């Protein structure tokens, strides 16, 4: 069923008989809410396992390393069977290669979890991956069958952007969302401090 949904979403992005280049020309679409996840509110907590079995908790990712927390974070849901996800994952990797201080977590949805590592390697993607084996994270964050879904979170844990479709402008839109998230997190983080 999920494969069919992604295929339909992929056709919706590309249009009947359209080329991949046509799909790249589409604009990235933002939404304000994804299930319980809302722009301007804290992201619900979650935890999952990496392909090596390591437990990864959302709260741990945002903790300071070497004195500073990450400026912002990207969470992107994908499937190895999802054609539109390929472009988005490459774009996320490119943005992470060109910027510093941001974190990324890629959440792999079933059914082909055993192919996640080779799939990402073939795309040149080397970000932290969580296998959402029983789709508990997907349910917790409101990601149903339609993917890709990408969420940008500030260092304060507040959701700053949600993308429901990743178009040809995704790189520019993602960079702006990360920059805005870092700025807003910095402002909200210093607003309560005494001077």
pLDDT value of position 114 = 84
Instruction: Please state the pTM of the whole predicted model.
Output: 0.82
Residue 130 exposure: Cα atoms within 13 Å on the Cβ side: 22
Rounded Cα gap, residues 153 and 74, in angstroms: 6
Nearest Cα to Cα of residue 157 among 46, 33, 66: 46
Confidence of residue 24 (pLDDT cuts 50, 70, 90): low
Query: How far from chain centre, in Å, is Cα 164?
Result: 10
pLDDT value of position 188 = 57
Consecutive H or E run containing 187: helix 170-191
Confidence of residue 82 (pLDDT cuts 50, 70, 90): very high
What ranges do the domains of the chain cover?
A: 2-14+27-190
User: Residue 169: pLDDT above 50?
Assistant: yes
Beta-sheet strands, E only, within 16-170: 29-31, 33-34, 37-38, 47-49, 55-57, 72-78, 102-108, 128-131, 149-154, 159-165
* Span 109-127, pLDDT tens digits: 988 788 999 999 999 999 9
pLDDT value of position 189 = 53
Fold classified for 2-14+27-190: Glutaredoxin (3.40.30)
Nearest Cα to Cα of residue 172 among 71, 73, 98, 122: 98
Task: Quickly tell me which residue has 């079995």 as its tokens.
Answer: 53
- Percent share of the chain, pLDDT over 90: 63
User: Residue 162: pLDDT above 50?
Assistant: yes
Mean pLDDT computed over 153-162 = 95
Mean pLDDT computed over 74-86 = 94
């Amino acid at each position: 069923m999920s494969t069919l949904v992604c295929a339909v979403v992929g056709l919706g992005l590309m249009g009947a008989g359209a080329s991949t280049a046509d799909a790249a020309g589409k604009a990235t679409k933002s939404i304000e809410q994804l299930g319980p996840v809302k722009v301007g509110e804290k992201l619900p907590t979650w935890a999952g396992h990496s392909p090596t079995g390591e437990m990864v908790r959302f709260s741990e990712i945002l903790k300071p390393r070497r004195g500073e927390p990450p400026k912002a974070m990207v969470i992107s849901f994908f499937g190895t069977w999802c054609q539109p996800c390929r472009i988005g994952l490459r774009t996320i990797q490119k943005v992470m290669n060109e910027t510093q201080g941001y974190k990324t977590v890629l959440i792999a949805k079933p059914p082909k979890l055993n192919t996640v590592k080779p799939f990402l390697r073939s795309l040149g993607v080397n970000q932290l991956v969580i296998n959402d084996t029983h789709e508990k994270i997907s349910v917790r964050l409101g990601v149903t069958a339609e993917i890709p879904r990408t969420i940008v979170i500030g260092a304060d844990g507040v959701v700053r952007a949600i993308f429901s479709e990743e178009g040809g402008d995704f790189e520019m839109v993602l960079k702006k969302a990360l920059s805005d998230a870092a700025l807003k997190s910095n402002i909200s983080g210093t607003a309560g401090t005494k001077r």
